[in-house]
Amino acid sequence: MASTSPGSDAASASRAPDQPASGGAAPRPAIYFDGATNRRHIVALHFGPALELSEDGVAVASWAYDDLRAVDGGPGTLRLKCISALPLARLEVPDPAAQAEISARARFLQVERGGSAQTGRVVGWSLAAVTSIVLVVIFGVPFVAERLTPLVPLSFERRLGGMADNQVRAIFGGRTCANADGVAAFAKLVETLRQAGHVDMPLQTEVLASSVPNAFALPGGRIYLLNGLLQKADSADEIAGVIAHEVGHVSHRDQTRLMLQRGGTSFLIGLLFGDVTGSSAAIFVTRSLFDASYTREAEHEADAFAIETMHTLGRSPAPMGELLFRVTGAQGNHTIGILASHPLTEERRELMRQEDRPTTGPEILSDAEWRALKAVCHSTKAK
């Protein structure tokens, strides 16, 4: 290693300490970089009142023991800096005896090395940050979402609905049922409910040719009825109740609230993991648009809206409860959308039964219209 050694004195000095340290005052070899150039100075160490470095017998530096700090060096080497010298001045001490001598005298050698106390602090502060974010997610985000929802412009909501529409089609097979009479009957049903529920927003509704028994809403007034649910229904009132429930979600803007909530949550969690661009957060948001499990309250309110609407029309909400029960069975809650909610189907059916009133209003759909609706997914050639 001493191929560059210019000083013969230092070189001879460097050989001496290969023998075990004999006298405390004996000079010990080390390599010194003064921080101004990268020249290697082979120096002898002298442990006086301060650590004295001398090259070829000439003093080059004097480092106070209290100013010495250990920094990363190669294996077996103690590398030192001195906080009162140039910031990058370094002393490399390969000799174990000299290392021991320095460790004994320099009281603050390791203060800049964090050790386990520092790790503990990092863990503590991180846990505090995580707790804070979790609290914000649980309490802050729903509150903010609640306040922001009325501020989201309807046009923006419609755009979001449009984006999610493609994903819905991809998942449920995508074919829109287009049998003209059925579509007309469905439009009439939806329009009746919209007016009875006093919803100003225009609704876009479609029946999709999917065997999944379900119905759901997207932001911006998009409501989807899947043929699977339609085929399980025995009367127009059953379907009307279900659609009224979805109109309730639309009218309460539940999807937008949910989206804000999920978006905010994944954004905050993304912050923790350093995923600021939110690539995963964006996926989460769009997925949550239709993979929606609303809160218990949102479901109760949508049910209340459906009941209210049916009463306004002079029809009973009870058939809706029967339909839900028929689809889910006694345990309920197997699927998403209209059926996926915390209130058990039994409870909901019980509620609908309590709200059962004798029908006073006209039929929402005539028998012929109801038959046309049931057949909406039959291909047009059947006509």
Partner 1 sequence: MDATTLPPLPSGRSARVIFTGTRRDFFRLVRRGALLELITAGLYRFWLATDIRRALWSGTSVDGDAPEYTGTAKELLIGFLFALAILVPIYVAYFLIGIEAERAKAFASVPLVLFFYAFGQFAIFRARRYRATRTVWRGVRFWMSGSGWAYSWRACLWTLLTLLTLGLALPWRESALERYKMRHLYYGSLEGRFDGSGWGLFKRGWWLWLLSLPIITVPFTYPAYKAVLWRWWLSGIRFGEVRFDSDLRTGAMMGLYWAVIGWVLLVLIIDGIVVSSVGFAVLLLSNGEVGAGALVELLREYPYVVLGANLVNYLVVALCAGIVVRVYLVRGVWERVVTSAVAHDLDRADDVRAEGRPVSALGEGLADGLDIAGF
Residue type, 361: G
CB 108 to partner 1: min, Å: 17
Q: Is 296 in the site for partner 1 (CB under 8 A)?
A: no
Instruction: List the one residue from 58, 59, 111, 129 that touches partner 1 (CB under 8 A).
Output: 129
Closer by beta carbon to partner 1, 125 or else 139: 125
Neighbours of 87 (CB within 10 A): 9
Per-position x/- string for 264-283, each x denoting binding to partner 1 as judged by CB under 8 A, each - no binding? -------xxxxxxxxx--x-
- # residues near partner 1 by CB under 8 A: 53
Beta bridge partners of 44: 29, 54
Give the C-alpha separation, 145 to 295, whole Å.
13
Of residues 82 and 225, the one with the C-beta less far from partner 1: 82
- Coil, helix or strand at residue 352: helix
Output the CA torsion sign for 198, 199, 205, 207: negative
Per DSSP, the three-state class of 31 is strand
Residue 139 engages partner 1 in binding (rule: CB under 8 A): no
Which positions ≥6 away from 375 have C-beta within 8 Å? 179, 181, 182, 382
Both structure tokens of 212: 């999944």
Q: Token pair for residue 178?
A: 């287009």
What would you measure as the largest C-alpha separation in the chain, in angstroms?
A: 116
The residue range among 18-26, 126-134, 173-181, 239-247 that interacts with partner 1, by the rule CB under 8 A, is 126-134
Residues 4-23: x where in contact with partner 1 by CB under 8 A, - otherwise, as a string: x-------------------
Select from 7, 35, 142, 314 the one that contacts partner 1 (CB under 8 A).
35
> Coil, strand, or helix at residue 6?
coil
Query: Any residues with CB less than 8 A from the CB of 101 and at least 6 apart, and which?
Result: 21, 24, 28, 47
For tokens 């909610």, what's the residue? 341
**In the stretch 91-110, what mask flags binding to partner 1 with x, by CB under 8 A?**
-x------------------
Interface positions, 175-204, toward partner 1 (CB under 8 A)? none
Distance, CA of 346 to CA of 237 (rounded, Å): 19
Which of the 8 DSSP states describes residue 176? B
Q: Is 293 in the site for partner 1 (CB under 8 A)?
A: yes
Residue 98 makes CB contacts below 8 A (sequence gap 6+) with 17, 21, 28, 30, 45, 78
What does the per-residue mask of binding to partner 1 show for 42-81, with x meaning CB under 8 A? -----------------------------xxxxx-x-x--
Site string for partner 1, 305-334 (x = CB under 8 A): --------------------------x-xx
* Residue selected from 84, 110, 126, 379 as contacting partner 1 according to rule CB under 8 A: 126
- What residue ranges bind partner 1 (CB under 8 A)? 1, 3-4, 31, 33-40, 71-75, 77, 79, 86, 88-90, 92, 119, 122-123, 125-127, 129-130, 156, 159-160, 162-163, 271-279, 282, 293, 331, 333-335, 340
